[in-house]
Structure 1
Amino acid sequence: MRITLKQLMVFEAVARSGQVAKASLLINLSAPATSMALSELEKQLNTRLFERIGNRLHLNAQGRLLLPLVTQSLQGINDIEQLFTQNNNPLSGALNISASSTIGNYLLAKSAVAFCQQHTAASVDVDIDNTRHVIDSVLHFRSEVGFIEGECIDSRLQVEAWHKDRLLVFCHPAHPLAEKEVDAKQISLMPWVMREEGSGTREYFMNAAHQLNIQPIEKFRFSSSDAVKQAVKQGGGLGVLSELTLEKELARKDFGVIHVENLQLERQFYRIKHKDCHFTPLAQGFMTFCDDFLHL
């Protein structure tokens, strides 16, 4: 059996992107050549590695078994190339990371731009989604490192505290509770505009609210902070988001803040990686840069 490096690269790219066409762009091959390399690998292993669902390819049980081995092999080859490259520049190449919405939009997007301006041979692809999606992306090796707002208890991942943040309960500036300190009962029966299931912001707030027996009446649910803010501006209900996402609007007095007694809304951000994955020099360099750039 002669498995080639190209076959391994194709397999990982398809696993990461879910489509042959997208995978071909990641590894600079034509779509037909990518499809052929994948077929040859499955033929050599005498097993299917993916199941097609709609227009996407999803790893089956055999594919999930193979992926961490392939990732380790490719990382080993990359380490060899880095070690013996005459003009060694570890801060080069492509880095794939995932981040939940607040972290990605308000911390890592600007960090990635600044990093790549300083290290012009590097590129950083930041996939922004909710916490649940980020965990899944790191678990399946689509991302080398993830940054999340919610908790993660999956034993396959290494989780470390990274940064702190504070949530704010906010409302239309003409709301009768704007800029007031209230107790839990005063907001318990009011309508709320919430983030979607799987959101770290939603998860943290709901846990904190339940500690005070607050049962938010969820009138609207959206998958982005901007949609939540727009709904609150229109009087759709109370909202709760990271202070990071509300900075500009609060400075313009577009919203009022409601201070709820004993509601603990300071939270921890986390950085996660797969326990079977070792950080590349590029990933390590980017994380060190972020800590300095963001004054962590």
Structure 2
Amino acid sequence: MADRRLQVFHAVAKHGSFTRAAEHLFMTQPAVTFQIKQLEEHFNTRLLERGHGHISLTPTGELVLAYAERILGLSDELESRVSELTDELSGAINIGTSTTIAAYWLPRLLESFKRRFPRVVPRVVVGNSQLTEDRVAARDLDIGLIEIVSDQPAVERFSAAQDDLLVICAPTHPLAQATLLKAEDLIEHPFITRDPGNAIRELAEQFFEAAGVPMTEINICAELGSLATVKHLAAEGMGYAIASRAAILRDLREGKLVGIPLEPRLFTPLEVIIPRDKFRSRLITTFAEHACAELTEMAATVAERASEQGLG
């Protein structure tokens, strides 16, 4: 309901980039540029200084941004209040999620939510857990689904469930016959790790350090942001990796990978986070509650299937 020009200006000012604002708003960059030009013509003054790939606010732009934040906040609250009175959830919800949750937990979660509330439009941004946490703390996202326990004061967290982390490797790998693996068992073998900021990378590093094995002794052969690529390299015998149990059940069933529990057991948390001080609409509250319930139920199903495959 708020002026679209203000929405676009707010996004550009917040992201410091026409390109990033366009991605956030699901618009083209020329459309963003046009909206900013229209707003500057309306006020008959320049609001943004552009130069050398950097955007900054003029003094007038600072004033307009302050009012834009208040206007957009009130607009969101109005939409939510009216929706609550009509007893029908609708509108967009901005969701951030880690790559593993996006691939293996989110599809069913969104499907069940959309069946209950068909007029809600989920807008999903996928990144690693640290990036998602930071964007929720900055109020760029309404809700986050992550695999780390957040300690940011600007974030409120709800623990939904947890999933086992397992060593994965090809059936022909020297580690494949083990029933349990300690940190010292892994030192001599090439390790396929994840990208910085990834929750499983952080948990793996904590696992080694807790066992007194410094990361300098670990033979890292690749750092990858894609779980699919991690699994492919592991299946091809390039090394071992550590992955969430939910992410590998199909690969285990098809015989592409072997999964071995760690000793001591290592778990990845499944957390739902929301901005602590942001106005909380019924839509955000309802989605958070739904996400917690669905993740809990799905984690129980994964554990049951894993038990059937001898990984309980």
Deviation sequence 1:172-217 (CA, Å, 0-9, x none): 1012221413443221221111111110010011101211123421
| Cα distance, 1:78 vs structure 2 | 3.0
RMSD of aligned alpha carbons: 3.6
Counterpart amino acid of 2:209? H
In 2 relative to 1, CA 223–113 (structure 1 residues): closer, same or farther, beyond 3 Å?
same
Counterpart amino acid of 1:257? G
| Cα distance, 1:58 vs structure 2 | 6.6
Q: Which of 157, 166, 169 is the equivalent residue of 2:167?
A: 169
Describe how 1:124-135 pairs up with structure 2 within 5 A. Answer: 124-135=122-133
In 2 relative to 1, CA 241–80 (structure 1 residues): closer, same or farther, beyond 3 Å?
same
Q: Distance in 2 between matches of 1:218 and 1:24?
A: 38
Describe how 1:31-46 pairs up with structure 2 within 5 A. Answer: 31=32, 33-39=34-40
Match of 1:293 in 2: 294
Q: Distance in 1 between matches of 2:121 and 2:163?
A: 27
| Higher mean C-alpha deviation, range 188-197 or range 268-277 | 268-277
Aligned partners of 2:94 and 2:124 also within 8 Å: yes
Match of 2:93 in 1: 95
Aligned partners of 1:183 and 1:261 also within 8 Å: yes
Q: Which of 227, 234, 241 is the equivalent residue of 1:239?
A: 241
Q: Distance in 1 between matches of 2:220 and 2:292?
A: 36
Q: Distance in 2 between matches of 1:26 and 1:223?
A: 26
Match of 2:223 in 1: 221
Q: Distance in 1 between matches of 2:269 and 2:248?
A: 18
SS of 1:95's equivalent?
strand
In 2 relative to 1, CA 67–197 (structure 1 residues): closer, same or farther, beyond 3 Å?
farther
Match of 2:146 in 1: 148
In 2 relative to 1, CA 97–38 (structure 1 residues): closer, same or farther, beyond 3 Å?
farther
Unmatched segments (≥5 aa) in structure 2: 298-312
Q: Distance in 1 between matches of 2:219 and 2:139?
A: 38
Match of 1:257 in 2: 259
Match of 2:108 in 1: 110
Deviation sequence 1:148-187 (CA, Å, 0-9, x none): 1124333322233232121111111012221413443221
Aligned partners of 2:158 and 2:292 also within 8 Å: no
In 2 relative to 1, CA 193–52 (structure 1 residues): closer, same or farther, beyond 3 Å?
farther
2:269 equivalent to 1:272: no
| Cα distance, 1:40 vs structure 2 | 6.1
Aligned partners of 1:82 and 1:89 also within 8 Å: no
Q: TM-score, normalised by structure 2?
A: 0.77
SS of 2:115's equivalent?
helix
SS of 1:11's equivalent?
helix
Match of 1:194 in 2: 193
Q: Distance in 1 between matches of 2:130 and 2:38?
A: 32
Q: Distance in 2 between matches of 1:23 and 1:59?
A: 18
| Cα distance, 1:145 vs structure 2 | 1.0
SS of 1:271's equivalent?
strand
Alignment identity in percent? 23
2:213 equivalent to 1:211: no
Unmatched segments (≥5 aa) in structure 1: none
SS of 1:193's equivalent?
strand
Q: TM-score, normalised by structure 1?
A: 0.80
Q: Distance in 2 between matches of 1:261 and 1:61?
A: 57
Q: Distance in 1 between matches of 2:273 and 2:183?
A: 34
| Cα distance, 1:84 vs structure 2 | 4.2
Count of residue correspondences: 287
Counterpart amino acid of 1:195? R
Q: Distance in 2 between matches of 1:47 and 1:113?
A: 42
Deviation sequence 1:225-249 (CA, Å, 0-9, x none): 1000001111110110111110100
| Cα distance, 1:113 vs structure 2 | 3.0
Describe how 1:9-48 pairs up with structure 2 within 5 A. Answer: 9-14=7-12, 15=14, 18-19=18-19, 21-22=22-23, 30-31=31-32, 33-39=34-40, 48=48
